[in-house]
Amino acid sequence: MKPVVISGTGLFTPSLVITNEELVASYNAYADLQNTKHAVRIAAGEVDPLPHSSVEFIEKASGIKQRYVLEKEGVLDPHRMKPRFAPRADDQLSLMAEIALDAANQALAAAGRTGAEVDGVLCAAANMQRAYPAMACEIQAAVGASGYAFDMNVACSSATFAIEQAANAVRGGSAKRVLIVNPEITSAHLEWRDRDCHFIFGDVCTAIVVEAEEDSRSADRWRVLGTRLATQYSNNIRNNAGFLNRCEDTDPDARDKTFMQEGRKVFKEVVPLAAAHIQHHLADLGFTPAQVRRYWLHQANLGMNQLVVKRLLDRTVDDDIAPIILSEYANTASAGSIIAFHLHHADLQPGDIGVICSFGAGYSIGSVIVQRL
C-alpha cells in the first residue's frame, strides 16, 4: 500500500485557566446554596445533602490540577455552573470552527502546506456544535480547502478513528491530503454541578495533516505503520442530549443531558481492553510493547494510563515512555492523545516506534502505530 504519513499537528489552547482551587470554591458554594434551599427535605431524609469537593480529592482521583476553558465566569458562578457563550449569527464563523481554524493553520504550517492543498476535511470530536450543516464543511470553507468534508463522532476515540479514515482515503486515492480537526468544547457538555465529575474536562482543539509519504515535504514526518479500531457497547459513559429531547417533553437541563459515567466500572473494564488492543495490534505488525519508544495515550485519568502501560511492559514507567498532560489540560476527550503526541515527540529519533491510542465511550478504542522518518 502507498505509505502514508502524519506530516503536521497543531494545538489551540484557550487563554483562560480554572485551577482546582477555583473550581472547588465554586462547587462548594453551589453545594451550600443547594443544601440551604433543600434544608427541610434534607432534614426529613427525603434527599441527601450535596457533599463538598476538595483539591485533594480531585488530584488523587484524576491527576488533574487545572484545565483550560473558553469561558470562565459562567462556570465559576455558583448560580449558573456552565459557560456563558454569546450566540453568533448564521453568517459568522461558529465558535467550534474558530478554534478548529487556529489549530488547522498550525498543522498546515508544520506540514508545509496551505488550505488550498487539502481535499479532505474531517471534524472528529465528542460533540458537535450543531447537527447540520456539518462543522467540517464550515471548517473546510474557512481553511480554503476543496474536495469533501464530514463530521464523525466516536467520543474520546474520535481522533484516532479519523486518522484511520484519513489514511485509507489517501491510500485509496479519494483524497490527496486530509486535514483532521478535533475541536473539543467539553466545558459545554460537562456537568459542573456533579462532585464526581465536575473536575474532569477542559477545552482545546488539535489538528492533524495526513498525506502520502511521497508527496510530503515536512521535516517532521511519521509513517503510519498501522491503524486498528474496535468498539464494544457499554452504557457506562453516556450523554443523552439530542434532537429527540424536545419531542420527549423532558427537561433539557436534566442530569442525563450532560456527561455521565460509572467511573469505577469504566476503569475496571477499559484498562484491560485497551492494553490487549495495543498488544495485539503491535504483535500483528511484528513488534513487542518493549520496542515502542513512546506511548501517547488518551488522557482521561492518571491511574488508568499508568495501569495500561504497566500491563504492556510489566513495569511502572515515567513520562519519557508515556507522557501525561492531564495535570495541565485535564481530560480533553478525543484531543488528549493528540496533545500528548504534539507536545512530546520532538526528541524521538528516526526509526523510533510510537503508539497513539485513545479509548472512551462506546466503548471505543483506536490505535495508530507510527514510525519517525
pLDDT digits (tens, 9 = 90+) for 77-130: 999 999 999 999 999 999 999 999 999 999 999 999 999 999 999 999 999 999
pLDDT band at 1 (very low <50, low <70, confident <90, very high): confident
Q: pLDDT tens digit string along 304-335?
A: 999 999 999 999 999 999 999 999 999 999 99
Give the three cell numbers for residue 88: 453568533
Cα–Cα distance between 181 and 9 in angstroms, integer? 10
| 125 within domain boundaries | no
Structural domain includes residue 295 = yes
Arithmetic mean of pLDDT, 365-371: 98
Instruction: Please list the alpha-helical segments (H only) found in the chain.
Output: 20-37, 39-43, 55-62, 73-76, 95-111, 135-143, 158-172, 245-248, 263-284, 302-313, 326-329, 336-343
Q: What is the CATH number of the domain that holds 364?
A: 3.40.47.10
Q: What percent of the chain has pLDDT over 90?
A: 99
The number of domains in the chain is 1
Q: Which residues are catalytic?
A: 156
Distance CA 220, CA 296 (A): 17
- 124, part of any domain: no
Give the tens place of pLDDT for each residue, 251-297. Answer: 999 999 999 999 999 999 999 999 999 999 999 999 999 999 999 99
In the predicted structure, residue 222 carries a pLDDT above the cut 90: yes
In a domain, 263, yes or no: yes
Range of the domain at 300: 224-372
Reported as a pLDDT band with limits 50, 70 and 90, residue 358 is very high
* pLDDT tens string 166-180: 999 999 999 999 999
Q: Say what the pLDDT of residue 140 is.
A: 98
**Neighbour-count burial of 316, counting CB atoms closer than 10 A to its CB (0-12 exposed, 13-18 middle, 19+ buried):** exposed
In a domain, 249, yes or no: yes
pLDDT, residue 278, reads 98
Whether 13 is covered by a domain: the verdict is no
Backbone angles phi, psi at 347, to 5 degrees: -85, -10
Q: Is 71 among the domain residues? A: no
The answer to whether 40 and 242 have CB atoms below 8 angstroms apart is: no
Please report, as a single letter, which amino acid is at residue 89: A
pLDDT of residue 226: 98
349 pLDDT exceeds 90?
A: yes
Segment 57-71, tens digit of pLDDT:
999 999 999 999 999
3-state secondary structure of 193: coil
pLDDT of 26 > 90? The answer is yes
| Any domain includes 41 | no
Coil/strand/helix, residue 184: strand
Residue with cell 503510519: 224
For the residues 231-259, what does the mean pLDDT come to?
95
Vertex 157, ends 222 and 23: CA angle to 5°? 110
